[in-house]
Structure 1
Amino acid sequence: MTERTRRDEIAAGLAEVEAKIAEACQAAGRRREELTLIAVSKTYPASDVRLLAELGVTDVGENRDQEASVKARECADLGLTWHFVGQLQTNKARSVVGYADVVHSVDRPRLVSALSHEAVKAGREITCLVQVALDGDPARGGARPEDVAALADAVAGAEAVRLGGVMAVAPLGEEPARAFARLWEIAQSVRRAHPGADVISAGMSGDMSEAIANGATHLRVGTALLGRRKPFVR
């Protein structure tokens, strides 16, 4: 496939995603400017990230540090905002702090401490989102809803990290609108305690509209932009 053909493919995917966002915003009485589109480029090469940037995308998400660190380095000249959206082991905190501007998957105090420690050493400030396990099962990533307030307090009190808000994935087998409505309530509770924590990261390729209807501010979209996933090849 030529670069031009691939650019056309991505441009078509982006146009379709933007049309769906516009339709959902209109239905929800929201403005497009309230939403940040994060292009999740996992398994796709840095060349695709460059094409996304050419098309006006400013935010890129990754869920594996090994892949993300390579692409962030190769695309360092683009001035993108990098989001780490996958489950994160504490021993990867140093690497992730080196390139990520936002970590969406903060789900335990130990990870808060690790990110804070590495951010101080790196001289950076990292925005952290508390990931909520909407099904109450932290084994799949995320803090239990009843633990979110304390974890948000821990992030807000840590050095060199900033509490941005919350993130969640709609549980399998549940209507996304119901799940995102619960996330909205949790987000409002966090925001009452921490007024600046206004990010709600929710919604992917298959449930963008439901997320927008329930107050999402950040959408994590991969397949609808870039196509079916393929193994990452450096």
Structure 2
Amino acid sequence: MPLSVSRMQVIDRYQEAISRVSAACQRAGREAGAVTIVGVTKYVGSEEARWLAEAGCHDLGESRPQALWEKADALSDLPIRWHLIGHLQRNKVARTLTCARCIHSVDSERVLKQIIDDSRGCENPLSILIEINISSDASKTGLSFDEARRLLQYWKEFQREAPHNGHLQQKTLQLNGLMGMGSLDGDEHQTRKEFESLRLFRDDCETEFGLELPQLSMGMSNDFEWAIEEGATMVRLGSTLFHSSTVS
């Protein structure tokens, strides 16, 4: 998807996004500061990403680890918190942990184990989210609710055994919540039900496992206002910031 935007357009669209987020929070009876805009830069270069960061969006997201590494190096002079929102392979975990401050896409026990192992000695805080497939699209990535429960049980056991196994990174490595994507072709009712299902699942798991899972990463350019009204704390916006279309 070729993009053609100017610096001022990016600034204007970011300010418009802030206003829309604030309005959605108000409708839901929530504080505007309760929702973080993650600017998704996967379709633009480092220059455009810099415009967005300099406009005040300090949370930027990338789908591919290699692109995150490259942009993190190019924009290292800015106070950016990098988010990996796409699939992460085990052999790319260690390099990604040097840049990312949040990984939204933990979707297997193997990847979680790799993150735990590679985060030994890391000084920078890292937040991780479990990705769940909340749509009816079987081709999408993410765990089922039952698989996510098993992964949360594994995390709970890790927390309990960590001090005995020499894992001292508990203060910097935190499993803070869940991520999900609504159906791309779903109507408002269906999409809201999908977001609601993730929020209700999170609430159940907090009780079941005694965990705090405050973060819900859900909602993109075409549905983020619905997501906020259903409880999202992070929305991932790309095309609404960098493209004339509102299709994510």
TM-score in terms of structure 2 length: 0.84
Question: 1:51 is matched by which residue type in structure 2?
Answer: W
Matched, 1:216 2:232: yes
Which residue of structure 2 aligns with residue 30 of structure 1? 30
Residues 39-188 of structure 1: matches in 2 within 5 Å? Answer: 39-120=39-120, 122-135=122-135, 139-156=139-156, 157=158, 159=167, 160=169, 161-174=173-186, 175-188=190-203
**Displacement after TM superposition at 1:139 (Å):** 5.0
Structure 1 SS opposite 2:37: strand
**Displacement after TM superposition at 1:42 (Å):** 0.6
Q: What is the distance in 1 between the residues matched to 2:185 and 2:225?
A: 17
CA 168–93 in structure 1, closer or farther in 2 if over 3 Å, else same:
same
CA 165–138 in structure 1, closer or farther in 2 if over 3 Å, else same:
farther
**Displacement after TM superposition at 1:173 (Å):** 3.5
Residues 6-17 of structure 1: matches in 2 within 5 Å? Answer: 6-17=6-17
**Displacement after TM superposition at 1:54 (Å):** 1.5
Q: 180, 183, 206: which is aligned to 2:222?
A: 206
Q: What is the distance in 1 between the residues matched to 2:104 and 2:70?
A: 19
Q: Deviations over 1:151-204 (max 9, x none)?
A: 123335265431110000012343211110101111112322244321000000
Q: What is the distance in 1 between the residues matched to 2:124 and 2:139?
A: 30
Q: What is the distance in 2 between the residues matched to 1:180 and 1:18?
A: 21
CA 138–113 in structure 1, closer or farther in 2 if over 3 Å, else same:
farther
CA 190–136 in structure 1, closer or farther in 2 if over 3 Å, else same:
farther
- Whether the 8 Å contact between 2:134 and 2:182 is mirrored in structure 1 is yes
Q: What is the distance in 1 between the residues matched to 2:138 and 2:149?
A: 15
Q: Higher mean Cα deviation, 144-153 or 55-64? A: 144-153
Alignment size in residue pairs: 225
Unmatched segments (≥5 aa) in structure 1 = 230-234
Q: 206, 213, 236: which is aligned to 1:191?
A: 206
Q: What is the distance in 2 between the residues matched to 1:128 and 1:19?
A: 28
Q: Deviations over 1:30-77 (max 9, x none)?
A: 110110110011121112222112211110100101111000111112
**Displacement after TM superposition at 1:16 (Å):** 1.9
**Displacement after TM superposition at 1:137 (Å):** 6.4
Question: 2:88 is matched by which residue type in structure 1?
Answer: L
- Whether the 8 Å contact between 2:135 and 2:181 is mirrored in structure 1 is no
Structure 1 SS opposite 2:197: helix
- Whether the 8 Å contact between 1:106 and 1:130 is mirrored in structure 2 is yes
- Whether the 8 Å contact between 1:128 and 1:155 is mirrored in structure 2 is no
**Displacement after TM superposition at 1:96 (Å):** 1.2
Residue identity (%): 27
Instruction: Give RMSD over aligned pairs.
Output: 2.0
- Whether the 8 Å contact between 1:109 and 1:151 is mirrored in structure 2 is yes
Q: What is the distance in 2 between the residues matched to 1:227 and 1:119?
A: 36
Q: What is the distance in 2 between the residues matched to 1:138 and 1:187?
A: 21
- Whether the 8 Å contact between 1:37 and 1:59 is mirrored in structure 2 is yes
